[in-house]
Structure 1
Amino acid sequence: MHSKKPFYILVALLFILGITASVYRGVEHKVPFLPGKQVQSWAVDAKVQFQGTGDPAEVSFSLPNDPAFEILVENATSPGYGLSITDTNDQSDRRAIWSVRSAQGQQDLYYKVTLIPTGSTKVIASTEPSEPKPYIWPATEQAAAEQATQEVWAKSATNLSFAQQLNKALNAQERSQNIELLLSSNSPNKLFLHMLQSKGIPAQEVSGLFLEDQRRRQQLSNFVEVYNDGEWHLFDPTNGTQGRDENLLLWDRSGKSVLDVIGGVNSQVNFSMLQDTRSALATSLDVMNNQDALDFSLYQLPLEEQSLFKGILLIPIGVLMVVFLRVIVGLKTSGTFMPVLIALAFIQTTLLTGLVGFILIVACGLMIRSYLSDLNLLLISRISAVIIVVIGIIGVFTLLAYKIGLSEGLTITFFPMIILAWTIERMSILWEEEGPKEVVLQGGGSLFVATLAYLAMSATWVQHWVFNFLGIHLVILAVVLLMGQYTGYRLLELRRFKPLAGE
């Protein structure tokens, strides 16, 4: 007797692999587990303006770099300008560079980007920053700066706690005289940054944009990032807050100027933004496309082939229903997987139209098939004749439906004609051998199974799963293999034992 252990190991591997692949696709690639899910997106326009002097002009503009937002689409409008986008290996200093041989008068350049929130607000440092050079204080400020720094330093234990205490000291209701002196000649951001650097703590000034729906002509706000244990922490010394708002987009983290213009004067940049709602599935596909993660995906196929596969990938769901209803429940059907093909036709015709059309076609086919039985034809000739008759019946019903204005009747052409012909042939033989009762039993069972398979296959969430989470098919295969090992009583057979249960 063969051991079933390898079989169960195979089933377990299929099940685990299918679940893992599906969860990975949902978590890593952000493919929604439910259809129709929407996500919020932001469209941000940056308008760069300057006055050209007639000389060659080059404009360098910092581009957004924030792990809390994923860039879906970005483009620039600059008629007459050359455009290139440069970045570093860690993407911390992405810049758009416009260039033109001669710029005269008012110049307008546009950059547009569409972003979606990622939910990840932590800024992890890709490399360990080097220790900053100590800031050299002016002679009039040096003593006050050193004394104020030492007072805060004594109350801290780490780089982060020093920054927190320093931020608190700069925004205290009753600030020390040293802090008041330093703030009289330094902005809170600059003073905060210089005092951190004087203690060798890596810190940098960053620019952020507050996203508000339908706002125009917005400016960037300045913040300070402080490095501690592999992570950058955001501080706003102007109001004494730490951390970031959900609607804050870190636009520039390079520590350089946001906008540099050579060959122009009076340069400025303004931002406009608009919040929108878009499909979560379409968004995840755009993200995967940007990350080159669609190398082995059905979405790479042309739309016609994608539509074809959306129908083909529903077949395992119908097969699962047939196996369960036949092996576990014990229903009888005419043909093993004929109900699956009928269910596919129901998806095209709708359920009611498909049921009526199927019954009419099979009923008319059985009457004509009874006449063919009297002719004593060979099997191949009889089946061929039935196929031709089925085509004729479908053509007549379609024409009649068109004449009386029933547009739903036109969809019966989606029925698989060869399957219908074999169904008529099998039912005719069954009628002759077993009688009409068995025909009604198997025909009714086929329609019942086809209806349940249609309900499962037409469910929106099922269609979403089988196409977007291909690992689910491995789970279906594992379940089918398990049911294939079932050798017990069918549920409908248990009624034979009802008398043994007594009253």
Structure 2
Amino acid sequence: MTSRIPFYLSVLMLIAAGILLSVFRHQHYGVPYLPGDTRQVWDVEARIEFTALDKPVKISLAIPDTQHGFTRTSRSSSSPGYGVSYIKSESGDRAEWTVRDAKGPQTIYYKTQFLVDPQSRFTAEAPTGKIKKPTFDGPTEAAATALIARANRLSADDTTFTRELIKFINDNESQNAALLLNSMSKVEAIHQLLSYANVPNKMVGVIQLEDGRRRQQLQQMNEVWNGSEWILFNPDTVNQDIQPNLLVWDESNVSLLDVIGGQNSQVHFSMIEQKISPQTATQDKVEADGLLNLSIHSLPLEEQAMFKTIMLIPIGALIVVFLRVIIGLKTSGTFMPVLIAVAFVQTQLLTGILGFLLIVGTGLIIRSYLSKLNLLLVARISAVIIAVIMIIALFTVLAFKLGLTEGLTITFFPMIILSWTVERMSILWEEEGAKEVLIQGGGSLFTAVIVYLGMTNPYIQHLTFNFIGVQLIVLACILMLGTYTGYRLTELRRFKPLTED
């Protein structure tokens, strides 16, 4: 007797692989498990204004890239007459605009789009080089040394050390903090103190993402390296619960904007929030990150639309296997109900049922006449196919003339399958009688309706289209159902008299 252990191991491997692929899609691509969810996207625009001095102009703007919590999906520039380039420098990404000659007021726009993405593919760059230790005058150095010594006693690492320094800087009763703030801002004071204490840090420009906000200025904050990532600190608040929707725009620690050949330059930021579908968000993330996306989303949209229906067929096959193997329902053909259900998806249920009954009923009448001619099988099937095509064409024209636009969708029925259905039912009529035709025909139609309800369920459509691993789980279930050798539920009626006796 052949061992079933390898079979059951294969089924378990299929289920495990399907679950792992689905979890991977959810974790790394951000695809939600349930339909109807939306993803948040921010369109941010930087507006650069300056006055050109009638000479060659070069503008350099620090621009953000993918970072923790955000994936940059696109960027563009509107600068008529200017050449634009995106370059990577030691201080970070920058956008450069150049022109040979410009005069008077100038305006340049830079637009970027960020997807709110907790699974953003971002690797923090560790600080390099020695920390440049600042110099203070006598009283200021004494105040800085006192603040650093006090914060050092109350902290355990660089992160908590920074937090304590911010508390002391915001203490209105601290004379040492007041002495430092006489000559510098809070963010500069924190930066100087951290550098003096040999803590890797930098000043960054941050914008608060607010829907519909216009002409916003950058807010300066501090970032501290904790050994694995940069931690953001707001020097103006003692409570270090960083607000959500903070986008670090300028990480250069050098300058936000450099203008050569112009004066009176300034930068303002505007932003707007959008909601997009998970499918669009996944596609944008794949294109932005250059991920190896072995999914339907990597195909052109036309092919995606085609596969959206094709990926539902395994669900229909699972339903048919369950109804035939467990329930014991009889159908005309094994998977003919699945193809009929696919046609129902296109025609809608009521129109599809009426069209199916009209085509098959008329086809049976024509087939009964052909059986009297004693034709060969190939010729008879070919004649039935032509008859089915003519029936579909006739019903479609009649529906159009009568103003029944729903009847035009009857052309979605698979003609070859309908022809074989007519042939099988005709032979069954001759061999088993009309009752068996009604049983199998009704079973096929009932199965097609159940499959249609499964295929049009929004949760099933979402899972099959977005998670390829679901197909492996369906395959495993079908294989398990294939091992069932017990009684069908409909067969239990045969043994009811035995229980009564």
Q: Name 1:70's counterpart in structure 2.
A: 71
- Whole-angstrom CA distance in 2 between matches of 1:228 and 1:385: 79
Give the counterpart letter for 1:69 in structure 2. Answer: F
Paired residue for 2:308? Answer: 310
Cα 1:146–1:304 change in 2 (3 A) is: closer
CA distance in 1, matches of 2:121, 2:221: 15
Which residue of structure 2 aligns with residue 491 of structure 1?
A: 489
Q: Is the 8 A contact 1:129 1:202 kept in 2?
A: no
Q: Secondary structure at the match of 1:479?
A: helix
Which residue does the alignment assign to 1:51?
51
Mean CA deviation greater in 414-423 or 332-341: 414-423
Distance 1:128 1:193 in 2: 15
* Preserved contact between residue 122 and residue 231 of structure 1 (Cα < 8 Å): no
Structure 2 residue aligned with 1:419:
417
The aligned residue for residue 149 of structure 1 is 148
Structure 1 residue 191 displacement after superposition: 1.5
Instruction: Report if the CA contact (8 A) 1:203-1:227 is conserved.
Output: yes
Of the structure 1 ranges 226-235 and 18-27, higher mean CA displacement relative to structure 2 is found in 226-235
Q: In structure 2, how many angstroms separate the alpha carbons of the residues matched to 1:210 and 1:107? A: 26
Distance 1:221 1:121, change over 3 A: farther
State the AA in 2 paired with 1:458: T
Shift of the 147–302 alpha-carbon distance from structure 1 to 2, 3 Å rule, reads: closer
Aligned to 2:39: 39
| Offset at residue 246 of structure 1 (A) | 0.4
Q: Is the 8 A contact 1:128 1:230 kept in 2?
A: no
2:78 & 2:40 partners in 1: Cα distance? 25
Q: 1:386 maps to what in 2?
A: 384
Counterpart of 1:5 in structure 2 is 5
In structure 1, the residue matched to 2:159 is 160
Would you say 1:135 and 2:134 are equivalent positions? Answer: yes
Q: Which amino acid aligns with 1:158?
A: D
Question: How far, CA to CA, are the matches of 2:260 and 2:209 in structure 1?
Answer: 29
Instruction: Please give the residue correspondences for 1:101-112 in structure 2 after superposition, counting only pairs within 5 Å.
Output: 101-112=100-111
Question: What letter corresponds to residue 110 of structure 1 in structure 2?
Answer: Y
Q: Which secondary structure does the structure 2 equivalent of 1:293 belong to?
A: coil
Note the C-alpha offset of 1:123.
8.8
| Shift of residue 151, structure 1, vs aligned partner | 3.0
Task: Give the secondary structure class of the aligned counterpart of 1:54.
Answer: strand
Give secondary structure in 1 for the equivalent of 2:215. strand
- Give the share of equivalent positions with the same residue, in percent: 51
User: What amino acid is the match of 1:327?
Assistant: V
Report the alpha carbon displacement of residue 4 of structure 1 after superposing the two structures with TM. 1.1
Structure 2 residue matching 1:218: 3-state secondary structure? coil
Gaps of 5+ in 1: none
Q: CA deviation at 1:375?
A: 2.0
The answer as to whether partners of 1:211 and 1:249 remain within 8 angstroms in 2 is yes
Task: Give 1:247 deviation, angstroms.
Answer: 2.3
**Contact kept in structure 1, 2:29 and 2:119, CA below 8 Å:** no
d(CA) in 1 for partners of 2:395, 2:120: 63
Does the residue aligned with 2:258 lie in a helix, a strand or coil?
A: strand
Give 1:7's aligned amino acid. F
Alpha-carbon distance change, 282 to 39 in structure 1, aligned in 2, over 3 angstroms: same
Aligned mates of 1:157, 1:472 — CA distance in 2: 48
Task: Tell me, yes or no, if the aligned pair for 2:147 and 2:168 is still in contact at 8 Å.
Answer: no
Which amino acid is the alignment partner of residue 360 of structure 1?
Answer: L
What per-residue deviation string (whole Å, max 9, x for no partner) do you get for residues 153-195 of structure 1?
Answer: 33333222221221111112422x2222222122111111111
Pairing of 1:438-457 with structure 2 (within 5 A): 438-457=436-455
- Specify the alignment match of 1:205 in structure 2: 203
Q: Distance in 1 between matches of 2:304 and 2:193?
A: 60
Aligned mates of 2:120, 2:326 — CA distance in 1: 51
Aligned pairs for 1:259-270 (under 5 A) are: 259-270=257-268
Deviation at 1:385, TM superposition (A): 2.0
Hey, what does 1:290 align to over in structure 2?
288
Instruction: After superposing the two structures, state which structure 1 stretch, 306-315 or 270-279, moved more.
Output: 306-315
1:225 Cα deviation after fit = 1.2
Q: Verify the 8 A CA contact 1:32 1:281 in the aligned structure 2.
A: no
Q: Which moved more, 1:195-204 or 1:226-235?
A: 226-235
CA distance in 2, matches of 1:424, 1:122: 56
Which piece of structure 1 moves more, 404-413 or 148-157?
148-157
Shift of 1:429: 1.5
The answer on 1:395 being equivalent to 2:393 is: yes
Distance 2:473 2:239 in 1: 50
Q: Which amino acid aligns with 2:85?
A: S
SS in 2 for 1:137: coil
User: Which residue in 1 is equivalent to 2:168?
Assistant: 169
Q: Does 1:408 align with 2:415?
A: no
CA contact (8 A) 2:28 2:119 kept: no
How far apart, CA to CA, are the structure 2 residues paired with 1:139 and 1:173? 22
1:270-281 matched pairs, under 5 angstroms: 270-281=268-279
Higher mean C-alpha deviation, range 208-217 or range 123-132: 123-132
TM-score (norm 2): 0.94
Shift of 1:140: 4.3
Q: Is the 8 A contact 1:390 1:421 kept in 2?
A: yes
Are the structure 2 counterparts of residues 121 and 325 from structure 1 closer, same or farther at C-alpha, using a change threshold of 3 Å? closer
After superposition, residues 87-126 of structure 1 pair within 5 angstroms as: 87=88, 93-119=92-118, 125-126=124-125
| Alpha-carbon distance between aligned partners in 2 of 1:482 and 1:473, rounded to the nearest angstrom | 14
Equivalent pair of 1:37/1:281 in contact (CA under 8 Å) = no
1:379 Cα deviation after fit: 1.9
Q: What is residue 222 of structure 1 aligned with on the other side?
A: 220
Could you say which residue in structure 2 is the equivalent of 1:332?
330
SS of 2:113's partner is strand
C-alpha contact (below 8 Å) 1:124/1:230 kept by paired residues: no
Say yes or no: does 1:83 pair with 2:81.
no
Once the two structures are superposed, residues 88-109 of structure 1 have per-residue CA deviations (whole angstroms, 9 ceiling, x without a partner) of: 58xx711101111122111111
- TM-score, length basis structure 1: 0.94
Alpha-carbon distance in 2 for matches of 1:85, 1:375: 78
Output the CA distance in 2 between the equivalents of 1:104 and 1:490.
87
Post-superposition shift, 1:348?
1.3
Q: Which amino acid aligns with 1:57?
A: V
Number of positions where the alignment pairs a residue of Structure 1 with one of Structure 2: 500
In the TM superposition, 1:465-480 aligns within 5 A as: 465-480=463-478
Does the aligned pair in 1 maintain the 2:336–2:417 contact within 8 Å? Answer: yes
1:172-191 matches, within 5 Å, as: 172-175=171-174, 177-191=175-189
Q: RMSD of the TM alignment (CA)?
A: 2.1
Deviates more, 1:344-353 or 1:114-123: 114-123
| Contact 2:71 2:121 (8 Å CA) reproduced | no
